[in-house]
Amino acid sequence: MGFCVCSWGLGTPQGFLSLLFAPSSAAAKMPSPQTVASGPELHSPREPAGPRIPAQGTRKASSEDTSSAHREGLRPGLGTLRRAFSKASQRASGCAPQEDPGLLRRSSRLLFRSLRRARDEGPAADQTQATTGPGVAHGREASSRAMDGVSPQSSTGAGPAELEDKSVADLITERKLLAAFEQLRHLETQLVAEKASRTFEQDPTGFARRAMDLCLHYDGLAAEIGAIVLETLGPDGVDAAVLAELARVVRAEEEAHPEPPADGDFLCTPRHWRQHWEDAVRRSARERVQQVSAGEAPGAAEGASGLAQLLAELGRLVRRDLQKVQLEVHPAYAAAGYPAWEAYLRAFHGAVAQRLQELAHDAHGCEQLYVLLDWASNVYSSPDFLGSQDLALPSEPLPPLLAPDVWARLESDYTSFLETKIASCFDGILQVEQSRWVAAEAPDVLQGHYHTPLSIDVHMLVAEHVKAAGAISAELEATTLQICTRALGLFLPRFEKAFLESGAVSEPNLCANINACEEFRFPGSLEELEKPLVAATCAFQKRLLQGLQGDVQPLFKVLCTKAWLTQDVLQPLLDKVVAFAGHLEHVVPPRAQVWGGRAVVGACPGPLLLTLTQTPALAAQETLQEVHRYVVREYLAQALRPRERFRGVERVSGSQKMGLDAQAIGNTFQGLGSEATWLGRAIPCVADILGETYKDDIRRHLETLIRSYPDIRRDHVLAILALRRLGHRRNQHLLTHAQDLLRAVAEAGGPGAAGGHVLFEEIEVPTSMDVLITCI
């Protein structure tokens, strides 16, 4: 710190005065520098002080020169001051090198103003030696002795003998702050009184030197206050008595200098030591926080783990320092009636905020950004961060740890990285599934349902990120759910295509994937996910039914043949249906999703097979009904285009056989739980027309068939009539009546009149010679 007059840029006091008074005309009447006695200077008690010769009225130039030279030779000038304050400088220079120049500039500026005022208010130049006498010189000598080592009794508890030979600089060095301030206050009061009495009219240099000494000592005391604050949280700490005395000194200065003097004089002006103390507290907190892994950027650390370790170390330091403030520092200040807890709390909060913004500037990657967000919102902001619940809260809420724009940028960057990470995670899930397909791993049965690890992997991925985001903010949680939903919607078509092209397609795996799609309708999923889920579900259902069709389709070819009349060729087909239905028992029921106030299960976009039109999304019941409809439809298709024609007894036997098959099909599907009861009348109606012996009743059976299945066409009626060969006139009569019924059904609403059920519409009837003959 090195308090020295030369640091003011003024050189010697004579140079200071020549700079100050050069523009004035009164400078010509000033005594020469050799005739002005030098002001009192500090000296160490260990150095002998030469005899002080008070100023006499008129002196010759030669005697004055000799006396001045004699005093300058015996006294070390400002050396004692420099040595005394160099000790405080060494303690404070490493912590606050920027502090002392400001204090010095402020003091020098006020001193210039005061000296100019003293000169302008001085008497005429011809009043010279009358005001300078032994008494005044004795006053200045007494103040010099107070500065140099003869101190008045202090109120700090030290006795006169202890403080008798201690200068102000020594008291500051020994951190007897209150005693030093009382001496400075006494000297300040004395200097103000002497200035008011115009003692320095003929000795402005003396006033300048004493004023400079006073300012330097005040600045030294302020610097010592800053040094104490900086050492308070250090490894050695500061004694509680010193902290209490610091608080009393600050309060004493505020009481001594409550407001600036009315005349604007720099003497007795408020020193603002409370503000100086608060600045030192903030500087101390900032330096303590910056010491945590100083110079190490998050990018240089080992990813998120390095940043997490840095933040953990920062949290431990802040927690340890604030706990020390709570247990040791605050009680010491509070004993002197000085609040310290809130000042330290706000100082550390600001320091942590600054440090966190620095870390946020260099953070990269999803993990590092989340570590920062999580630490700011969950660790630092936790009520358990300081480990105590009874800490006094600040009078005003603390500002946000991160500015709103910085927080928004971090969340935006985090979600951008999260989108890439989630997509990469789904890529990994697909690779894991493909490895399971290669290994031909069968799905597990959990709680009676087929289960694939795909469901667990997706749910864990979504739950992990949504829960983590929810711990930070509700907005980030909603954004993360949207990101996961979009990524899942893009993943489903890829998964569907890869699975259907693999060699792992089987009833258990298809049912397990259907269950997985149903389980992906987790709470909070968006409506945009419904379309890809329905598409994937219907694709798996289509492949499932295609597999059954490939197994049972050859068995339909033996129906309606002469061998069929004597053999039970339907049972093998029904056995395969029963085995297929056994897999459907392990399919979960659908969950109704509510969008816009209506319950939606989903609809397959377009036919799944030639046999399948728009139906509800997959569930065991819907699939079973679809199989039921498929068996009935294929049976009728085989009956309407028989390989062999029956006549007479064979036609009657065929009719009876069809009735028995219809009963067997109905009983089988009823036992499996199918609720498609509307299918039960189709085969019996055709069997009745085929075996009816009373031809007039054929019209009644035909009406029942058309009313039950409005989707029947004229081609189907012709094919049925061709099985009987009733003759031209009767066929034409029945065909005309059937067309009238079909028109009436169409006017009534078409297939919708029967609940939207479709059966005959999907049966292709080729044009045969028998049908042509029937038409003719």
Identify the CA nearest to 219 among candidates 143, 150, 273.
273
Average pLDDT, the chain: 75
DSSP label of 590: P
Whether residue 480 is predicted with pLDDT greater than 90 in this model: the reply is yes
**Per-residue confidence at 153, pLDDT binned at 50, 70, 90?**
very low
Distance (Å, whole) CA 548 – CA 195 = 116
How does DSSP assign 253-302, residue by residue? HHHH-SS--TT--STT----HHHHHHHHHHHHHHHHHHTTTTT--GGGSS
**Per-residue confidence at 294, pLDDT binned at 50, 70, 90?**
low
pLDDT of residue 393: 61
Identify the CA nearest to 719 among candidates 652, 625, 641, 604.
641
* CA atoms within 13 A of residue 133's CA, in its CB half-sphere: 4
**Per-residue confidence at 284, pLDDT binned at 50, 70, 90?**
very high
Chain segment 96-148, per-residue pLDDT in tens: 434 444 444 444 444 444 444 444 444 333 343 333 344 444 444 445 544 54
Identify the CA nearest to 314 among candidates 369, 352, 353.
352
Whether residue 772 is predicted with pLDDT greater than 70 in this model: the reply is no
φ, ψ of residue 593 in degrees (nearest 5): -100, 140
Whether residue 289 is predicted with pLDDT greater than 70 in this model: the reply is yes
pLDDT of residue 241: 92
- Winning range, highest mean pLDDT, from 102-106, 480-484, 720-724, 732-736: 480-484
The mean per-residue pLDDT over the stretch 715-721 comes to: 88
Distance (Å, whole) CA 126 – CA 110 = 28
Could you tell me which residues come within 8 angstroms of residue 585 by beta carbon, excluding any fewer than 6 positions away? 448, 620
Name the residue type at position 626. E
Query: For residue 184, what are its two tokens?
Result: 């400075």
The mean per-residue pLDDT over the stretch 463-492 comes to: 93
pLDDT of residue 227: 95
**Per-residue confidence at 774, pLDDT binned at 50, 70, 90?**
low
φ, ψ of residue 618 in degrees (nearest 5): -55, 135
pLDDT of residue 26: 35
**Per-residue confidence at 420, pLDDT binned at 50, 70, 90?**
very high
Chain segment 556-612, per-residue pLDDT in tens: 988 888 888 888 889 999 999 999 999 988 888 776 443 333 333 344 543 333 333
For the ranges 161-165, 359-363, 745-749, the lowest mean pLDDT is seen at 161-165
Whether residue 675 is predicted with pLDDT greater than 50 in this model: the reply is yes
Could you tell me which residues come within 8 angstroms of residue 13 by beta carbon, excluding any fewer than 6 positions away? 5, 38, 39, 205, 208, 209, 212
For the ranges 86-100, 233-247, 685-699, the lowest mean pLDDT is seen at 86-100
For the ranges 110-114, 252-256, 433-437, 453-457, the lowest mean pLDDT is seen at 110-114
Q: What percent of the chain has pLDDT over 70?
A: 70
Cα 469 to the center of its chain, rounded Å: 7
Whether residue 374 is predicted with pLDDT greater than 70 in this model: the reply is yes
Cα 174 to the center of its chain, rounded Å: 50
Q: Which residues does residue 451 pair with via DSSP β-bridges, in sequence order?
A: 444
pLDDT of residue 274: 92
DSSP label of 86: H
- Winning range, highest mean pLDDT, from 605-614, 618-627, 738-747: 738-747
pLDDT of residue 194: 87
H-state helical runs in 439-502: 453-470, 474-500
| Other CB atoms within 10 Å distance of the CB of residue 88 | 22
CB-CB contact of 347 with 340 (8 Å)? no
pLDDT of residue 57: 35
Chain segment 4-46, per-residue pLDDT in tens: 333 333 333 333 333 333 333 333 333 333 333 333 333 333 3
Distance (Å, whole) CA 621 – CA 630 = 14
Q: Most distant CA pair in the chain: distance in Å?
A: 168
pLDDT of residue 134: 42
Query: For residue 338, what are its two tokens?
Result: 């000085």
Q: What percent of the chain has pLDDT over 90?
A: 39
CB-CB contact of 328 with 240 (8 Å)? yes
**Per-residue confidence at 292, pLDDT binned at 50, 70, 90?**
confident
Name the residue type at position 159. G
pLDDT of residue 490: 95
Query: Is this structure's pTM higher than 0.85?
Result: no
pLDDT of residue 287: 94
Identify the CA nearest to 322 among candidates 394, 251, 222.
394
The mean per-residue pLDDT over the stretch 501-518 comes to: 92
DSSP label of 129: S
pLDDT of residue 24: 34
pLDDT of residue 168: 87
Q: How far apart are the first and last CA of the chain?
A: 125
Whether residue 488 is predicted with pLDDT greater than 80 in this model: the reply is yes
